[in-house]
Each structure stands twice: as structure tokens, then as C-alpha cells.
A and B are shown apart, each in its own frame.
Chain A
Amino acid sequence: MEPDQLKNWLSLLLTIAWLLPLGGFALEIFAGFWSTRLKKTAAYIAVGCIGAGFVCSLTALCSWGMHTGYWAEHDYLTKFFQETPLGGDHAPADGHAADGHHGSEHDAHHDEHSAHGAEHGAHGHEHDESKYPTVFAGRYYQLAEFGSLQLEIGYYIDSLTLVMFTMVTLIATCIHVFAIGYMSDELTEDYVDHFVHVGEGHLHRPGRFYRFFAFLSLFSFSMLGLVIAGNVFMVFIFWELVGICSYLLIGFYTERKSASTAANKAFIVNRVGDFGFLIGLMILWTSFGTFAFSEPSAEKAAENPGLFQMLRDDHGQMTVEIADDGSHQVVLTGPEGTHKTIPYYLLVAAGIGIFCGCVGKSAQFPLQTWLPDAMEGPTPVSALVHSATMVAAGVYLVGRFYPMFTPEVLVTIAYIGAITLFMAATIAVVATDIKRVLAYSTISQLGYMMLSLGVGGWVAGLLHLITHAFFKSLMFLCSGSVIHGCHHEQEMPKMGGLRKKMPITAYTMLIGVIAITGLAIPGTYFGFQFAMSGYHSKDAIVATSLAYWGLNDQHVLLFILPLAGAGITAFYMFRLWFYTFAGEPRDQHIHDHAHESPAVMWVPLVILSFFAIFCAYDGEQGPLWGLLVHSEPAGMDHGFDPAAPGQIAVPGHHHVHEKMSGDATVHDVAGRYALAVAIAGAILAYLFYGARLLNPADVRRQVAGLHEFLVEKWRFDELYDAMFVKPVHVISGWIAALDRVVIDGFLHGTSKAAVDVSTWDRRFDEQVIDGLVNWVGDRTFRVGRSLRFVQTGRLRQYVMFIAGGLFGVLMLVYILTL
């Protein structure tokens, strides 16, 4: 296939995969009208759409691999079947050339990494010799155009997009199938909601099976749109759409006050993050004039370069100048090679702004509070939306938008991630609701991903995104199976010993637990590695942290916190497993009624556990790592030297594989530490909850204050309630009063004044003016009346008057003329 054909083929496949769930939604939402509530038709449509989407995505991934020669070049399958046993620690050490397919090439540069090899194209591992670009980008249609400013709906397909598509559709298909079983009690005309009390009894309502699948389909569409988005504005659009789908799904049980409140909280807290996102977008839009990531075609890029191309050169370097006033300025390469500068702090602000959106979506500190509450949604939703896909979108965006982040932004990301992973892990230790433990675990693992991206472990972070998606969705579905089997009981203190009742659930869950804690036997035996996916990804993260610390001494916490977190993770995950599945039952009633779930629910568990074990097979030599490396931003393989103004170095691949002590590389050392604390955590959990040799109640009593602090989730909810929610209501009350009292008061005052004035006017009219007129009239009348007596009608008398008058006048004239 020619590159253009391949581009059309890939975009066609992914577009179909993307739009099918939307079509499904349009059908399913009306299923209440064209079908009955008792049929599973809507579910079959939804599964069909997302399943077909998975087939399309997988086909796209394979076509991409075949036609770009990627599979042939790496030949993972042959490698897998060669079964060449390698001994002990040798394998990770061999990972010195771990940059995947370009290992040898990079080796050559290890000593002169700052020189930045010239052969690296705009996208890091661009195949200069290959005719296939790393990225296929194009547009579906234009949203708007204002002079030189253009906004469009487009696509941006690289290996990361393909991997994400395949992962999302695969997990979504499993969860859709699982939900057919889990939601089957909605297949009724009379669903009794035991959590809602109306009058004397429980709420009765018609089942809403079809609606659940309609929302799931809409979510799948939105999520895939977010992944395929060709520009950051389109990401923002679908960002909001996944948010609203999450709102609809969390609030699926609309009658429950707790559910609708949690849904509101999720959306509004996310909007707080999106507020920052929007500010970031404003800065970028005004400074760069485009939202496109990058334009693969060189001719088009010269005319309309994307954001990455404007900011960085082919080697991933930005140009920073010092202006006359001493401020740092970033040089942007505009269309036709023109240059302009923007202040460095603006770029940092834009990066922080975009990251705020990610903080909200990925439930990072300080916006983590919505995710635990989001567990009000049905468990398949928690598995799909709130662990595997949507909440990982923040991490995905950080990864996708990586070239736009300066080292100062990256270190912020790393600290947010580190704080989050530690804090959430500590809360998970005391949580007793099985889903909440998993929710905090999700937050914590997302923190790991953020940390990894922040310290320069781009591939490690995104690898963890993929592996986590598999094992966490697996564990959520297992917890769903438990909840389903125990008739909606979620409190672990009422469980125990369930492994005999539901063995498949218990052991698939154990796979998930081992995967997340990263327990493994390092090395390869008999051609196999006894390590699950989580081991590889977590190791890579901790190793990058260690390398980062090596380059930046002051950031020791960025290594300590994830290491401590690894131990806590092992503790709370094994605590969960032992609590639920091991030992004697704590509540006999629940135990008696517990049962293994039907096949429609456990088959997805088995499929997911397969991927939880193998998806990151062979770690840094494996296919998934290699696929991700293919999309790595330019310059990441070498890392970045400390640069003004932050003077922060970012480690490259070789830093992670440098010799540290003796023969062991940084990666080995970090791996050993991580494994050691994980084993310690697991053993501790076994002592407390498995063997029950230690009594957790004793410890709880000894640190009662701390325990309460953790149970209260570090008191964030109270804090935000006091800081934001209440003030907003108070201010809105004031403003409404301002309208009523001040503005309308002024108006009413004015109108009253007008009425008063006219009243006075009337009175003045009536009393003064009319009074005067009347008085004059009255007087005249009276004078007339009095004069009437003079008017006698006798002629003689009149002649007398005339003569007297004439005399008087003459006298007057005489006197005056004297």
C-alpha cells in the first residue's frame, strides 16, 4: 500500500470503529419504544457495535504493522517461539539497548546525547528511510474559519492512537458483555430499588436495561473521538462529551440522591479542571493561531504548521531567547518559516492550564474527590469509565500533548502525580467498600502515570496506562462479580472466604492483584517470564524516577513517594483479596447466598486476565513497548539537558540503563527496591488479613487520629465544601438580593419618586395654582357682589358718580401736573 492508501485505509477503519457506537446509541436510546423492556436486543446491538469496532481497530493496528514493515522489522512472534532461555538478571541488563527497534542506533549516541543526532525526524523515531510517516493526519470537516484561523474535526493516527483504539474497544467489548449479565435484573417491568425508600417501601420502577447500553455506546463513541482527535480543540470537545457520559452513567440510578449528587460532583469538579484547560487553549490559540498537533506532510506543514512544529525543531528542541528586559522568550516557527516570540511564562501557563484539565479528568490531587463518589454508578461503568478509559484520558492527553510541556510544567506534573499516588494509596488502606478501594487504587495508579510522564518516562507512563487499563478493569469486573454474587453487598468486612463459592472470580482477581502490585520473579525461565504486565510498567516508572533523581538532586521525593507507594499498593491490594476471598466467612448469611456468576460474566474476566498477564510481555523488549516507542516525541530518547529558566534535566532512555552500582543499571536497582517493598507490603497484608496473625483493630486503636484522618479522605470534601460550595451559594444569594434590593430598589425608588413628584404636582396644581386662580376669581366675584349694591339703576345717581369720577380724575391730573 502506498502511504496515501494506507492513510485512507486506517482512517476508514478507525472512523467506522469510532462512529459505530454512535449509531448504536441512536438506536438503543429509543429501544424503550421499539422493543420491550424484557429483551436484550439493545445490549446485542451495543456489543455488536463495539465488537465490530474492536475488529476494525485490530485490523487497523495489524495493517499498520504489516504495511509500514513494523512487524517484519521486529519479528516478535519469532522471538517468542524461539524460546531461548536466558538466565537470571541478565535479561533486564540486556535491556541496555532497550529503546526497542532503534536500540543500536541510540547506543551510538549515548556518549554524545547532547549532540542530538541529526537523523531524528519531527516525531522522534521517524523512519527516514521509510516512505511511511509516523503520523497520519487529516480532516473530516471544517467547524469554522476566521481569516487565517481554522478549526476542524480531524484525525491524528499514530501507533499510540492505534494502541489506544485497540485497548479501548477490547476492554469496552469485554465490559459490554459482562454488563449483559450484571445488568440483567433491569430486564423487568418492575425493578425494585432497595436503596431508595418511598413512603412505606422501596421504590418500584420499570427496568432500564436498554438505556444503560445506550449510554455505554455513547460513552464509547466519545472516548474513541477523544483518542482519534486531530487537534487539541477536538480533544476538548470530546473531553466534555466523555464527561457528560460519565455524568449520565454515574447518575444511572437517577432516583438515588447519592447517585445524582455524585454525578453532579463529577461533572462540576471536572469543569473546574476544564476551566484551566480552557485558559490553556486560549493562550495557545492566541499565541500559536492553531490547534492542530502537527502536520505530517512537509508541504502542508510549511503553510500551516501544527503546534509541535511551531514550538520544537526536528530534534525536539525549543529555542529560548533572552529579551532585552531579561525575560525569557520562546521562538515559534510560523508559516513559511516566519518567526515570532512569546514569553516563556506564557508557555508554562498554557501547559499548566492544559494539565489542569488532565488533573480533573484523571482525578489527580487536588481534584481527586469526585472519583470515589463516582462509584455510585453500576460496576461495569466503574470498570470502563472510571478506571480503564475515561480517567486515563488525562494521562493520554499529557502524553499526546507532551511536546508542548516545558520542563517546569513536567516537574509540576510529576509532583502532582507523586502526591496523588501517595495520598490515594494511604486512603485505600483504610477503605472498606470494595469498590472504593479500587477507586483509590485507580487514583493512585493514575498518579504513577502522571509521575512517569513528568519525570520523562513517556513510554513507561503510557505503557502503565495500557497495562493498568487491563488489570484494573479486570479487578473492577471481579468486584462486580462479587457484588452481583453477594446481592449488592459492597462492604468487605461482611465478606471473606468467597474463593470457594466463586473460584473463577477469586483467581482472576488474584491475577489482577499480582499484576498491579508488580510481584514477579525477575528473569526468564524455560522461555517464559514469570512477570505480569504491571511489573514491567511499574518497574519502568520507578526506574525513570530514579534516573530523574540522579539528574536533579533536589527532587528526591519523586523517587521516594512512588517507592513507598509500591509497598502500600501491595498492602491494600492483598488486603482486599484476603478480606474478600480468604479465610472464614465473616457474615454467614451473605456467604450462604453467594454464588459464582454466569458465564457471560466470567468469560470477560478470563479474557481480561489473559491481557493483564501478557499485554506488556517482555517489557522493554516487547511489542507493546516497541509500539509506543514508535510514537515517542522527538528528543525523548536522549532526554533533555538542563535549560533556562528552570534548569531541569529530563532523562532519556540511556539514563535509565546506565550502570549505577556494579553491574546493575538504574533500572535494575529501582526494580529491586520496588520488588522488595511490594513483597514486604504483600507479606504484611497476609499477616493481617490472610493468616490473621495480627489484629488490624489494635493498630487502628493505636493510631486512631491518623486512621480517622484517612477514613475522612484527608478531609478534602469538608474543605472544599467550606471553601467553594458554601461560598458560591452565599454569593449567589447576595447577587440575587442585589438584584432585588439594590437595582430593583433603585427602580422602585425612582418610580415612587416619580409618583410622589406627580402627587405633589397635583397638590400644587390643586392647592397653589388652582387656589390662586380660585382666590382671584373668588375675590373678583365678591367685589362684584359688593359692588352690586352700587348698581341701583337710578340715572341721577349714575350722573352723580360720573360727575364725581370726572372731578376726581381731573383733580388727580391737576395734582400730578403741579
Chain B
Amino acid sequence: MNDPIILLSAIIFAPAVGALILSVFNKEAEEGMRVFALITTVVTFVLTLMLWNIFDYQDPQMQLQVSVPWIKAWNINYQLGVDGISLPLVLLTSLISLLAMVASWSITKQVKGYLILFLLLETGMLGVFLALDFFLFYVFWEVMLLPMYFLIGIWGGPRKEYAAIKFFLYTLFGGVLMFIALLMFYFGSAGGEVGSTFDILRLQKIGQGLIPGVEFDGMTQMIAFWLLFVGFAIKVPTIPFHTWLPDAHVEAPTPISMILAGVLLKMGGYGILRIAFPICPQGAQAAAYVLVLIGAASIIYGAFAAMAQTDFKRLVAYSSVSHMGYVILGIAVWKVSDGSTVGSDYWNMGMNGAMFQMIGHGISSAGMFFMVGVIYDRVHHRDLNKFGGLMGLMPLYSGLAVGIFFAGLGLPGLCGFWGEAFTVLSAWNYSPILAIIAAAGVILTAGYILWTIQRVYLGPEYKGPHPEAITPINMREFSVALTLLIFAIAFGIYPESVFGMMRESTTLLVTNLSNTVNSGLEFAGNIIQ
């Protein structure tokens, strides 16, 4: 297992193999299939823990690299690897998938198909985070799209077709833009001794001007950056590309919402960090102000929109838009003045804050969607004005839910705080005005979360339909909620547990990108390796 290709491939394809085996199960054996799928996700989670175990915190470079030719004619490789930026997301993916699988017991319709698609989705997500070949990345990106489409379109709510198609078209549109950029890089990287390549690491070096004889000029970088950014921004999502999210969430079944918010959104942020910024540093630098603006605007816009919602799930969905704004904000606070980067420590802090926000939001938003799902499974409605009094009826559930919502509120000591605080603190160095706008989000966030808690959990009595169906939270639900809350508290009290994992890699990224701009396109020497 210490051979990286086996471990990494096992992580990616364990769920797919599980899906394959599931296909021979008897359709009637629902419980058995669920247990088997759960075991598959547990195995995957354990595999990622093994990966974590052999990961070296001190090494900023890509670790456990694997490269096997795949399509030789096009110089496409089966190339994998992990560093401090991808590892936390890999761990998050396997964890959230595991918890979402536990939450999937509430799915009763066509269980077999659901579980197979679920596991394929997990393969796609893990593949995206581990792939180092752009083409492979793209393949996994699209692989993930179809299961998601069906999971929303078949197991969704009343407007599932609309939501599924909206999700599909939005993401496909982004994928097409990404594909154009991919081709630009492929044909642009033709120089040098290697020839055209999809190797992300090599493309990064070319983009950063470290490979003699081949470069992406400023215009190429600018165009490619925007193509990539829009592609990834749709996934994040930032305004104005976010309207698929509320619909997809509202219609998706609870476990799929958990995955959607907990993992899928992070792919956008990851793509920006792994591909858009390192390959097109000049394009990124030129776009930085717009990005920070988009980030700050998303924070405020999402928070305002959340406040106006009456559908519980839609509110949580908009809170995701708001919270993911911090990610874009933190990544983009790259201040350059007179051709050199100013306060790169602050930028590094912003990037770390953005990464932490992805992890923290992965925990808190998955938790919030799960909590909405728990009550929806009982009373079958999500109208915020028809709840109330749950604190008295389901005290344990309400206590856990309030804890998780506080994490979403960004309360210190819980996982939502560090990402928000660090990105905002680092933003002043870039632009005081935008930092102030972003910081104003703390008021609005407190407003809509507390108002929601008041309407749903507090008050004397439950005002909606099916009051007889309100039963205390069961063990299965309790275990999912408690796990998420424990992670929220652990990351909240000791954020270094996450920062320590990614610090070296983000520092290297910041150093490399700073050097790129500092030296223009001149060769900055072999800073990478």
C-alpha cells in the first residue's frame, strides 16, 4: 500500500469498484446494499486516513506523485499527487461522503441506482482533488456531473427536472470554458523538449516563466484566466453565477445537498488555487481587484438574499453563497505595487483563510443541510414561518442544530470563524474599502442565522403541518450531527490542525506567484525543485 499509485488509485476507485459490485446485488436487498455502500465509504475514508498518515507536513511540494501514460498520442497521463492544498479537501470529501451515506438511509426510492450513482460521484470528486493532469482533471470533473444530474433529477423534490437541468447546463457551460483554456494551454505548451502537455505542474512552471523557451504571454494568461475563473466561479458559486445553487439545493435530497455544499462547491475554490492562479499568475494578478470585489459582493449579496428567504433550505443555500465569498476574497488579496508583491504574508494568510473557510464551510454547511433534512423528513415542509417550538419538542436535535448554526454564524471556537476572520483581516492590506464591505457581512450573517433559529427552534409551539410526526432524533441522525459538531468544535478550538497541514504548500504557492510578478516573465531560477 505504500506504493503511491496503488494507494491513490485505491482512494479514487474504491467507490467505483463498490458501485460495480453493487450492480450485481439483488434489487430487493435494500438494507444490504446500504450497508455495503456504507462499508465502501468507510473503506475509502480509512484509505484517505492512510494517505494522511504518510503525508509529510513539512514538505511543500507535491507528494506521492504518480504518472503513467494513458493516451500517448496526446501526451495524456494518468498523473496523480497530493499536497497541502489537496489533502485537506480529500479528507473532507471522504468524511462528508461517509456522513452523507449514513444520512442516505432516508432514501427509499430505487435504492440501488441511488447508491451506485452516489459512489460514482465520490470517485469523481476524489479524482478531481488528486488529478495532476489537466485532461484527467477535466475528465473527473465531467464524470462527477452526470451522477449529480441524475441524483437531483430522479431523487429530488417537486421541481427536480428544472433544478437538475439548471445545474447541468450551468456546470457544463463552465466545463466548456475550462476546456477551451485546456486546449489553449495544451497547444501553447508545445515548446521545450517535452512538447505539448496537460501536466498541471509543468503548465504551472510555464505560466510562471520557469521553463526556458516556452511561455504563456500576458494576453493568453488573461484570456485563459477568465475562462478558467468563470468555469470555477460557477462551481463556487459566486455572484452572478450562483442561481443554480438555491434550486439545486432545494430540490436535491438531503445527503446530496450535504455533498453539494460540503464538497462540490470546494472544487471551484480548489480549481482556482490549483489551476487558474498558478498557471496564469499574470492574468490572476490583473484580475485580482475584480475577484476581491466579487468575493466581497458575494458575501453581502448572499447574506441579504438569505435574509429574504422563507424556504429553510434556500436560506441555507444562500448562506453558502455568502460564505464562499470569503474563499474568493481570501485567495485574491494579492497586492502588487511597483512590480513587487506587498505584504505576501497577508496574502498567504488570506489564502490559508480561504482554504480553512472551505474546510470549515464543508463541515458547517453539510451540517446545516443535514439538520434541515432531519426536520423535513418528519414534517415534509420547509416553510420557515411554519416552524417554531422545536427546542421543546426535540431538545437534543435542536441543541445540536443550534451549535451547527452557530458554526455557520462564524462564532469563535467553532469552525466557521477562522476562515471569515482571517480572510477579512488579510483583506485590509489589499483594499480597505473592500475589507470593510466584507466585514459588514458579520452583522448580516448574525441577523439571518439568529432570526432563523428564532423562527424554527424557539417560540412556544410548532405552527406547521404534521405536528404528530415530530419525534426525537434517532441514533443514526444523532451520530451524523454529533460527528459534524465535534469536527466544528475541534477545528474551531485548534485551527492549527488544518493550517499545519496546508501551510507549507500555500506558502510555496504564494512565494512562487510573488516571484513571478516580481520578476515579470524573466526566469526566477529554479525555485520549484
Q: Which residues of B contact A196 (CB under 8 A)?
A: 460
Contacts of B306 in A (CB 8 A): 732
Out of B391, B395, B435, B494, name the residue touching A32 (CB < 8 Å): B395
- Structural contact, B454 and A728, CB atoms closer than 8 A: no
With A149-B349, A254-B459, A255-B460 given, is the CB distance from A275 to B243 under 8 Å? no
B439 CB to closest chain A CB (Å) equals 5
B495 proximal to A (CB < 8 A): yes
For residue B458, CB closer than 8 A to chain A, the reply is yes
Question: Which A residues are CB-close (under 8 A) to B343?
Answer: 286
* Docked-complex contact B458 and A255, CB < 8 angstroms: yes
* Cross-chain contact B494 with A282 (CB below 8 angstroms): no
Task: Return the chain B residue nearest A254 by Cβ.
Answer: B458
Tell me the smallest distance from the CB of B78 to a CB of chain A, in Å. Answer: 35
Q: How large is the interface on A (under 10, 10 to 19, 20 to 34, 35 or more residues)?
A: 35 or more
Distance, CA A236 to CA B424, complexed state (A)? 14
Q: Enumerate chain B residues within 8 angstroms of A732, measured Cβ to Cβ.
A: 304-308
Distance (whole angstroms) from the CB of A738 to the closest CB of chain B:
8
In the docked arrangement, what's the CA distance between A417 and B440, Å?
Answer: 25
The A382-402 residues at the B interface (CB cut-off 8 A) are none
Chain-A contact segment, one of B58-66, B116-124, B190-198, B445-453: B445-453
CA separation between A283 and B436, bound complex, in Å? Answer: 11
**Given known contacts A146-B349, A237-B413, A264-B451, A255 and B459 CB-to-CB distance under 8 angstroms:** yes
Q: Provided the pairs A198-B460, A282-B425 are in contact, do residues A267 and B392 lie with their beta carbons within 8 angstroms?
A: no
Q: In the complex, which residues of chain A have a beta carbon less than 8 angstroms from the beta carbon of B348?
A: 146-147
Tell me whether A795 is interfacial, beta carbon within 8 Å. Answer: no
Q: Does A261 contact B (CB under 8 A)?
A: yes
Given A144-B418, A283-B428, A275:B413 Cβ within 8 A: no
Would you call A714 an interface residue if the criterion is a C-beta within 8 Å of the partner chain's C-beta atoms? no
Q: How long is the Cα–Cα vector from A271 to B399 in the complex, in angstroms?
A: 22
- B418 and A735: CB pair below 8 A? no
**Chain A CB within 8 A of B496 CB:** yes
For residue B444, CB closer than 8 A to chain A, the reply is yes
Chain A hits for B520, CB < 8 A:
none
Q: Which residue of chain B is the closest to A750 with respect to CB atoms?
A: B169
Q: Which residues of B lie under 8 Å from residue A279 when comparing CB positions?
A: 435-436, 439
A241 and B399 CA atoms in complex are apart in Å by 17
Complex Cα spacing A205 to B390, Å: 12
Which of A205, A247, A255 gathers the greatest number of chain B CB atoms within 10 Å? A255
Q: Is the CB of A144 within 8 A of B496?
A: yes
A573 in the interface (beta carbon within 8 A) = no
Interface set, chain B 294-342, CB cutoff 8 A to A: 301, 304-309
User: When A145-B503, A254-B459, A735-B304 are in contact, do A267 and B446 touch as well, CB less than 8 Å?
Assistant: yes
Chain B 166-177, CB-CB to A under 8 Å as 1, else 0, gives 100100000000
B461 on interface, CB distance cutoff 8 Å? yes
The listed residue (A141, A268, A286, A743) touching B240 by CB distance below 8 A is A743
Pair B499/A144 contact, Cβ less than 8 Å:
yes
Interface 0/1 of A251-270, CB less than 8 Å to B: 10011110011011001100
Chain B residues with CB under 8 Å of A143's CB are 418, 495-496, 499
With A146-B345, A275-B439, A728-B444 already in contact, the answer to whether A267 and B459 are too (CB < 8 A) is no
CA distance A257 to B315 in the complex (A): 22
The residue in chain B whose Cβ has the minimal distance to the Cβ of A278 is B439
The residue from A268, A282, A731 contacting B424, defined by CB atoms under 8 A apart? A282
Query: Judging by beta carbons under 8 Å apart, are A271 and B304 in contact?
Result: no
Cβ-defined contact, B442 with A278, below 8 A: yes
> Which among B305, B447, B499 is the interface contact of A268 at CB below 8 angstroms?
B447
A198:B345 contact, CB within 8 angstroms? no
Q: Could you tell me the distance between the alpha carbons of A210 and B459 in the complex, rounded to whole angstroms?
A: 20
Least distance between A342 CB and chain B CB atoms (Å): 12
Q: Which chain B residues lie closer than 8 Å to A251 at the CB level?
A: 458
B352 at interface, CB cutoff 8 A: yes
B20 to chain A, nearest CB (A): 36
Indicate if A739 sits at the interface (CB-CB under 8 A). yes
Question: With A149-B349, A255-B460, A736-B308 as given contacts, are A241 and B413 in contact (CB-CB < 8 Å)?
Answer: yes
Contact B450 A286 (CB under 8 A): no
Cβ-neighbour of B243 out of A238, A264, A747 (below 8 A):
A747
Binary contact track A228-254/B, C-beta < 8 Å → 1, others 0: 000000001110110010010001001
In the assembled complex, how far is the CB of residue B87 from the closest CB belonging to chain A, in whole angstroms? 17
Residues of B contacting A29 in the complex (Cβ-Cβ under 8 angstroms):
399
Interface pair A142/B307, CB less than 8 Å apart = no
CA distance in complex: A278, B436 (Å): 9
Produce 1/0 per residue, A480-515, CB < 8 A to B.
000000000000000000000000000000000000
Known: A146-B345, A279-B439, A282-B428. A264 touches B305 (CB 8 A): no
Residues of B within 8 A of A747 (CB): 166, 243
The 8 Å CB contact of B454, one of A149, A237, A264, is A264
B428 contacts which chain A residues (CB < 8 A)?
A: 282-283, 285-286
Give min CB distance, B249 to chain A, whole Å. Answer: 13
Q: A148 to B439, Cβ gap below 8 A?
A: no
Whether, in the assembled complex, B389 has its beta carbon less than 8 Å from a beta carbon of chain A, the answer is yes
B369 within 8 A of A: no
| B439 partner residues in chain A, CB cutoff 8 A | 275, 278-279, 282
Q: Within 8 Å CB of B305, what residues of A? A: 732, 735-736, 739
Contact A728 B494 (CB under 8 A): no
Chain A contacts for B308, CB-based, 8 A: 729, 732-733, 735-736
- For the complex, what is the distance from the CA of A240 to the CA of B454, rounded to whole Å? 19
Is B368's CB within 8 Å of the partner chain A? no
Q: A271-B442, A278-B442, A732-B307 are in contact. List 15 more A-B contacts (CB 8 A).
A: A146-B349, A203-B461, A254-B459, A256-B460, A260-B458, A274-B442, A278-B425, A283-B428, A286-B429, A289-B345, A733-B308, A736-B304, A736-B308, A747-B166, A747-B243
A-B contact pairs, 14 of them (CB 8 A): A141-B496, A145-B503, A149-B345, A203-B461, A205-B392, A236-B412, A238-B412, A240-B417, A247-B450, A254-B458, A255-B392, A264-B454, A731-B304, A739-B305
Chain A residues with a Cβ under 8 A of chain B: 29, 32, 141-149, 196-198, 203, 205, 236-238, 240-241, 244, 247, 251, 254-257, 260-261, 263-264, 267-268, 271-272, 274-275, 278-279, 281-283, 285-286, 289, 728-729, 731-733, 735-736, 739, 743-744, 747, 751
6 closest residue pairs by CB, A with B = A147-B345, A736-B308, A282-B428, A732-B307, A237-B412, A732-B308
